[in-house]
Amino acid sequence: MKSKDGQLMLKAGGDGLGQIIVMLERLVKSPLSEIETLQVSWQADENGMPLVAMWAHRIKTDLLDSDVAAILDSTTPAEVIEGWLRWYPHGETGGDVVVATPTLMNGLVTTSGAENELPRSMRPLRPILDGSRHLTVLGSPHYFVHDGRVLLPAMVMPLLEPIGRALDDDCPAAAVSIHLDDRTYFELDAVSPAVGSARSLKRHLDDEIHKVSEKIEAVISSRDLDIYGRLLVIRLPELLRLWQSNIRIGAEGRDLVVANSYLPEMAAHNMVLAGSLLLEQISANPSNPSVGEATRVNTQGSVVSRLQQPVTLAFDKDSLETAVEMLSEATGVTIEIAGKDLELQGITKNQSFGLSERGRSGADILVTILEKSEAKPGQLVYVFRTDGEQNKVVITTRQSAQKRGEQIPEVFQ
């Protein structure tokens, strides 16, 4: 982040990022300029409270070679600071310092000598992650879009729906990396939700990425922008079109999709600043709907009315997935299955059952299908979600819907 563009990106983060940097420097007892690498991990506990751990490698130019062996054999017990625990794996004069919430620190200390291992869902990313990149963020889009949203600041909430739509709601893992030098390098790596479905995800991601500038332009045109930063925000769609024109998207093997792009020097901080200004204005005026939110009001009623039309659906034995596809075709309503949600409750999409429903409403038949598919009564429900300008029905579990705060139809009350 020492480059001119990197310094401007830090400034683009505003007071919020500035306060985080001050806290970071205080916790690791080093200025940002002396932190060579920083790894940050965050997750939620069973109550939805954040658990955070940071591992900083500091530049220690004053160390002699004779000091290194002594440092490697030394350690310092964790100390309490402002509700955090701070620990020096190689002693206080060593290069590494770990800061974590008390719940996580014990595990970090006991496993510090073990080989690092990613969660199973993220392991396809390991061969292509590059530790030399200036910034890499990896995690589970499905988790952050749903249960993990409690960990995120309110300002980024408007991003969750388009992220879920672009990466597929069931995408188990993805990584975004940025490198700043004479050009800005951007890379997105996404693991396909099903084995061997990389080509399908590639086509979907390609389509969604090339709609980004158009959708952002629609959001901007629907809002009365504050005079502060208005010109920069208005330029954001043009910057995104430049990014879209240079991006290359391809499938890597059967389970991975990679999208990367180069942009001119100084493009990164302009995009970050314009994007953060737009998000701030959306958060400050949530009553002024985006294009997608305005569309939802108009289309949900039509989805409900189509589900009330009488249809006939009969088969001797077929899977939940096939039954849903048949009902979707019969009603003209997009119906999807949140597979990850069902798996958490031990329910699969390929279990079989028979059905013979004639002249009943699509909504009633959908409820019957859910009742035949759930392991325990009341497990499965459906909710309404928006996908771009179209509303859809998503089959999920009661537990997952309640965790996300989604409105469950009265038929399940």
In the chain, where are the structural domains located? 11-116, 117-288, 293-412
Task: Quickly state the pLDDT bin for 388 (edges 50, 70, 90).
Answer: low
Pick the CATH number of 293-412 from 3.55.50.60, 3.30.1280.10, 3.30.565.10, 1.20.120.160: 3.55.50.60
Instruction: Check: CB of residue 258 under 8 Å from CB of residue 205.
Output: no
CA dihedral sign, ordered 50, 51, 57, 63:
positive
Copy the structure tokens of residue 372.
């035949």
Q: Is the pLDDT of residue 155 over 70?
A: yes
Copy the structure tokens of residue 343.
């798996």
Q: What is the pTM of this model?
A: 0.61
Q: Is 83 left (phi over 0), alpha (psi -120 to 50) or beta?
A: left
Instruction: Check: CB of residue 339 under 8 Å from CB of residue 324.
Output: no
pLDDT in tens, 358-384: 888 899 999 999 999 998 889 999 999
Q: How long is the chain?
A: 413
Phi first, then psi, for residue 129 (nearest 5°) are -70, 135
Instruction: Check: CB of residue 138 under 8 Å from CB of residue 97.
Output: no
Q: Is the pLDDT of residue 38 over 60?
A: yes
Residue 222: per-residue pLDDT: 72
Residue 301: per-residue pLDDT: 52
Taking all residues of the chain, what is their mean pLDDT, rounded to a whole number?
Answer: 80
Residue 47: per-residue pLDDT: 67
Q: Is the pLDDT of residue 77 over 70?
A: no
Task: Quickly state the pLDDT bin for 60 (edges 50, 70, 90).
Answer: low
pLDDT in tens, 390-404: 688 999 999 999 998
CA distance 247 to 212: 12
Q: Is the pLDDT of residue 115 over 70?
A: no
Q: Is the pLDDT of residue 293 over 60?
A: no
Q: Using alpha carbons only, how large is the chain's radius of gyration in Å? A: 25
Other C-beta atoms closer than 10 Å to the C-beta of 182 total 9
Q: Is the pLDDT of residue 294 over 90?
A: no
Q: Is the pLDDT of residue 80 over 90?
A: no
Compare 104 and 68 and report the one with higher pLDDT: 104
Residue 397: per-residue pLDDT: 94
340: which strand partners?
none
b/e code 106-131 from CB counts within 10 Å (16+ = b): eebbeeeeeeeeeeebbebbeeeeee
Q: Which residues contact 166 (CB under 8 A, 6 or more apart)?
A: 204, 205, 208, 209
DSSP symbol at 408: P
pLDDT, average across residues 321-338:
88
Nearest to 398 by CA among 365, 371, 363, 362: 371
- Which alpha helices (H) appear in 286-374, and where do they start and end? 291-307, 320-331, 339-344, 362-373
Maximum C-alpha span of the chain: 85
**Percentage of the chain with pLDDT > 70?**
84
Task: Quickly state the pLDDT bin for 234 (edges 50, 70, 90).
Answer: confident
Residue 188: per-residue pLDDT: 93
Q: Is the pLDDT of residue 71 over 80?
A: no
Nearest to 178 by CA among 259, 245, 251, 122: 259
CA distance 335 to 304: 12
CA distance 9 to 15: 12
Strands of the sheet with 174-180, listed across from one edge: 135-139, 174-180, 183-191, 256-264, 248-252
Residue 113: per-residue pLDDT: 62
Q: Is the pLDDT of residue 66 over 50?
A: no
Nearest to 406 by CA among 372, 382, 375, 387: 382
Q: Is the pLDDT of residue 288 over 70?
A: no
Q: Is the pLDDT of residue 62 over 60?
A: no
- Flag the least confident range among 104-108, 193-197, 234-238, 357-361: 193-197
Residue 48: per-residue pLDDT: 65
Most confident of 77-86, 222-231, 368-377: 368-377
